[in-house]
Structure 1
Amino acid sequence: MNDAVLLDRQGSIAILTLNRPDKRNAIGDAIREALVPLLGEIAADPSYRAVVLTGAGGAFCSGGDLGEMRSRCMLERRARLEGWRSAIRLITRSPKVFVAAVDGPAYGAGFSLALLCDQVVAGPTARFSAAFAKVGLMPDLGLLWSLPGRVGLGRAKALMLSGNVLDAAEAARLGIADHLASEGGTLDEAIRCASRFADAAPGSVSQIKAALARGPARLEEVLDWELDGQPLLAGTEDHEEGKLAFLERRPPRFKGT
């Protein structure tokens, strides 16, 4: 049994925990092979409305497992990275809101994984670093897309080229962390954050995330996306429920239909 990623539940919120504390949750084949099916399971279950991603043992993720990077075969290395594509899509285009709960290091691929999430909660011990260049690599797992979107191109270049370590306060100042948590309260704060988004209409969440995942675009492209997505959403039961709830001055009860 692969217990490299654990799935727990709190109401409509799924809690995914990277579970290799002896390696500070370094990303290797075991985590990927456990995470992808769990993400698929969550995506297929409409009773899950949000996801919190965290790490065991006081660390979020220390980056890629260097012990598994020994192969000098380019095709093997390429296949390993290709295996992450489905996980990245399941997070960035999901109808669920993803929240990263970061304690300890979020380095390298761990930094990338945190920034794939829609919101980032940082505890007092959180540390962020795009440390790829320090080991002769380039950013992966989507960081070349996600980091500039949060901090701008110039700052993203500086962080990627230097590998400087940011504490929680600096990460919040730059826009890398969205919320700061008190000591020992990171997971609870992430669950509270996820709860605030869990009532959003899943179709709306999916369309918004999918459009934003395409990156910066020309106005005409954005207008085309609106033409694709908005008429689809306007025909859903959730839209009718949203209108009715507005008129009745009550919270909507969305079902993802």
Structure 2
Amino acid sequence: MAEAASPILFERRGAVGWLTLDRPARRNAIDAATHLALREALTAVEADRAMRALVITGAGGAFCSGQDLAERRDMVAEGEVDLQASLVENYSPLIRRLIALPMPVIAAVGGVAAGAGVGLVLAADIVLAGASARFQLPFVKVGLGPDCGLSWTLARQVGLNRALALLLTGDAFDADEAFAWGLVSRVCPDEALAAEAEALAARLATGPRAAIAAIKRRVREAADQTLDEALAAEAIMQGGLGLDPDYREAVTAFTSKREPRFR
């Protein structure tokens, strides 16, 4: 019997990891096999000290259409569906691990990103969208509420009012709207999306590792802090980074009028 094709493609190109959802016939919908493959890929990312940036994208003209409802249909028919267990065991750890990565995570979105696919997008640090990108949060259309951290990430990105409107209607929106609302960092032609993501990831991969990890952590934590708490945390952060060899290298490079060479 032929071995089933992997639902994702994962490789490292230099210092940049590329994670491509690869179920184009299902618009890269997530099923049990995809969850397993994602767990294995993230374990590899976390263990690879040579990897300094990660790009997440989709194959076949789609990013990710969310949970594979064909899989859910069979479970519902058999009376075996347990959505809480699915989230606790699969989606919630996935989002936590992506957000916790110390390296920059770039989502390169072409075509549809729906439901859990948008959850993946908002777990990234920078989102690039092709002109064809279409986003949707259709949970209400199937009698559900948001998951994959979207009740937390979406309002922080677009504000409470717009988050509620998007979740209560389930209406789709395009790349330009996503950019205007702050969900997307940049919109580019579809044919340029991969090259844009590659160039940005390569640039970020040369940055100071400790500072990048600290920036990611500090900005996310500050959203739930008072100004005084944020100021105190910044002082602690800078105190640590000031002792890092990359800071000394940057100061030396500046005074020597050359580009820094970070570790």
The two structures have a TM-score, normalised by structure 1, of 0.90
Q: 1:43 to 1:254 in 2, by over 3 A?
A: farther
Q: Which sits farther off after the overlay, 37-46 or 151-160?
A: 37-46
The 1-side partners of 2:80 and 2:232 are apart by 42
* Aligned Cα root-mean-square deviation (Å): 2.0
Q: Deviations over 1:88-144 (max 9, x none)?
A: 222212221111111110001101111111111111211011111111111111112
List 4+ stretches of structure 1 deviating above 6 A: none
After TM superposition, the structure 1 = structure 2 runs for residues 171-186 of structure 1, keeping only pairs within 5 Å, are 171-186=178-193
The residue type paired with residue 230 of structure 1 is Q
User: Shift of residue 227 of structure 1?
Assistant: 4.7
CA distance, structure 2, for counterparts of residue 92 and residue 112 of structure 1:
11
Partner residue of 1:158? 165
1:225 to 233, 246, 254: 233
Aligned AA (2:215): I
Give per-residue Cα distances to partners, 1:173-202, cap 9 Å, x unaligned. 111111112132211111122223222212
Contact 1:54 1:60 in 2 (8 A): yes
Task: Identify unmatched segments of 5+ residues in structure 1.
Answer: none
1:1-257 alignment, distance < 5 Å: 3-69=6-72, 70-71=75-76, 76-82=82-88, 83-214=90-221, 215-255=223-263
Deviation at 1:51, TM superposition (A): 0.9
Q: Which whole-Å CA distance do the structure 2 matches of 1:183 and 1:77 have between them?
A: 35
Measure, in 1, the Cα distance between the counterparts of 2:260 and 2:94: 30
- Residues 229 and 84 from structure 1, CA distance in 2 versus in 1: closer, same or farther, beyond 3 angstroms? farther
TM-fit CA distance, 1:226: 2.7
Question: In structure 2, what residue type is equivalent to 1:61?
Answer: C
Contact 1:24 1:60 in 2 (8 A): yes
SS in 2 for 1:101: strand
Asked if the contact 1:94/1:205 (under 8 Å) is kept, the reply is no
TM-score by length of 2: 0.89
Q: Is the Cα contact below 8 Å between 1:93 and 1:213 reproduced in 2?
A: no
> Secondary structure at 1:150's aligned position in 2?
helix
Corresponding residue pairs, total: 254
